[in-house]
Structure 1
Amino acid sequence: MPADTAVDLSGRSVLVTGAAGGLGRLVSRGLADAGARLTLVGRDEERLRALGIDGAATASVDLTTPDGPARAVQAALDAHGSLAGVVHAAGVVAFGPVAEVDDDTVDELFLVNALAPLRLLRAASAPLTEAAAETGDAFLVTISGVVAEKPTAHMAAYSASKAASWALAAAASGELRRAKVRVVDARPPHTETGLATRPVAGSAPRLPQGLRPEQVADRIVAAILAGERDLPTSAFGG
């Protein structure tokens, strides 16, 4: 599908992970406004329901477990009978020199930021391919961030986990292009979602003023609707 071909999400099933987070909730609302039928996934189902998105299914899923991503995909299929899109908006961050980051922290970073999107894509590839055969487009979006393009000192483990997500999207995009499934990685600059104040380890260094979450979420939704295939840092204008 050419990048300038509009995508109609009206009535189509889309799964959002991390849907109650700083970006996830905004992306979810943008997709709902575009007519998508949503399945919202996170660890706290009450927070998902509190978003108040009409018609959205919710599911509490731990994406760090081997079967968690597949259960998320199945929740969307059970709720809506099909799956035309996935947005992986779940993510964790850690700070500190790589020599000081312990194994548990590394494991969590890679489980959420790298292995979860890989497992989501593996579980979702068949229903996404089926949806694309009917409408000409399906998609899976990952959000790796600027550190994938510009790995940052004192954030080496985090940067590596996000770079893995970018590499996954780039390679899988080629694998699924013929099936008309877009695998899109978004790499926004630092964004004021509050994630940096909730690291799984370490303390954030002084960071520049970030973009507004609304700006980033709107850009991601716009890219989905426009049929875009990549969202580098430069695409966010920040």
Structure 2
Amino acid sequence: MSTAGSKVLVVGATGAVGGALAGVLHGRGARCAVAGRDAGRLAERARGWGGCPARVFDAYDMDGCAALAGWAREALSGLDAVVTAVGTVAFGRSEDTSDEVLEHLVAVNALAPIAVLRAALPLLPEGGAVAAVTGVVAERPMPGAADYSASKAALSAWLTAVRREQRRRGVHVLDARLPHMDTGFADRAVAGSPPPMPPGADLDAAVRAVVDALASGAAVVRPGTDGGLVTEARER
């Protein structure tokens, strides 16, 4: 998928990662439609991205999540790709984590992005793409964040299965398993406090890697052994 001239929906555009993704896509010539939770921030960012179409959504509203792709296709007169970068985190030992916290994590980290992407799949042409930011915890679950890790792993597993389903249609499915970054995300946990964290990865480099992977039709972006990010054409 060529980035320049492509029509892309970015969901979670008021967050640090989603906003950076939309900014890079816009900078590379994509026509974006953006969705986010914070109405004021969304409007401000949309103005900076050429006055692109913008829509407020709630991750707990599954019907609203499912409606985003259709809205974006109408607003952009077409749709080539959908990227989700929504999420929330909680910390604490598993026996100390409530069912309510788990329900919240699964709703925001798995059910909402799945609803967005599921509705987008039949709207995309051959060569189109869907992508989601999961996190390295999807493959390396983190002690002290078992429920958070499980919610991200659920989304990652869904992406892996859907990638195989969509192969004949030629729709690419990207799983962005990004490492910890100093975006303040961990400090906004819905429960618990973050443990000591290693230095965060570079946000700009991570976002560029995701956009490059989206354009190339890659399957996975993940941390490499040298501390950087690697892109894989297919799932291991």
TM-score by length of 1: 0.90
Question: Quick one: distance in 2 between partners of 1:14 and 1:74?
Answer: 12
Of 109, 112, 115, which aligns to 1:116?
Answer: 112
Q: List structure 1 runs of 4+ shifted beyond 4 angstroms.
A: none
Contact 2:36 2:42 in 1 (8 A): yes
**Could you tell me which amino acid in structure 2 is paired with residue 20 of structure 1?**
T
Aligned ranges 1:83-122 → 2 under 5 Å: 83-122=79-118
**Could you tell me which amino acid in structure 1 is paired with residue 228 of structure 2?**
G
Contact 2:70 2:123 in 1 (8 A): no
**Could you tell me which amino acid in structure 1 is paired with residue 2 of structure 2?**
D
| Aligned residue pair count | 226
Q: Paired residue for 1:45?
A: 39
Matched, 1:11 2:2: no
Matched, 1:34 2:46: no
Q: What's the CA shift for 1:88?
A: 0.7
Aligned ranges 1:57-72 → 2 under 5 Å: 57-72=53-68
Of 188, 195, 217, which aligns to 1:227?
Answer: 217
Of 146, 168, 181, which aligns to 2:136?
Answer: 146
Q: Paired residue for 2:19?
A: 25
TM-score by length of 2: 0.91
**Could you tell me which amino acid in structure 1 is paired with residue 25 of structure 2?**
L
Contact 2:173 2:218 in 1 (8 A): no
What is the identity percentage for the equivalent residue pairs of Structure 1 and Structure 2?
39
Return 222-231 or 149-158, whichever deviates more. Answer: 222-231
Question: Looking at both structures, which has the greater relative contact order when contacts are Cα pairs under 8 Å and sequence separation is at least 6?
Answer: 1
Question: Quick one: distance in 1 between partners of 2:194 and 2:29?
Answer: 38
Of 191, 194, 200, which aligns to 2:181?
Answer: 191
Question: Quick one: distance in 2 between partners of 1:233 and 1:142?
Answer: 16
Q: Paired residue for 1:166?
A: 156
Q: Paired residue for 1:208?
A: 198
Q: Paired residue for 2:228?
A: 237
- CA deviation map 1:173-226 (0-9, x unaligned): 000011111111011221112100101111101111110211111111111122
Return 175-184 or 227-236, whichever deviates more. Answer: 227-236
**Could you tell me which amino acid in structure 2 is paired with residue 144 of structure 1?**
T
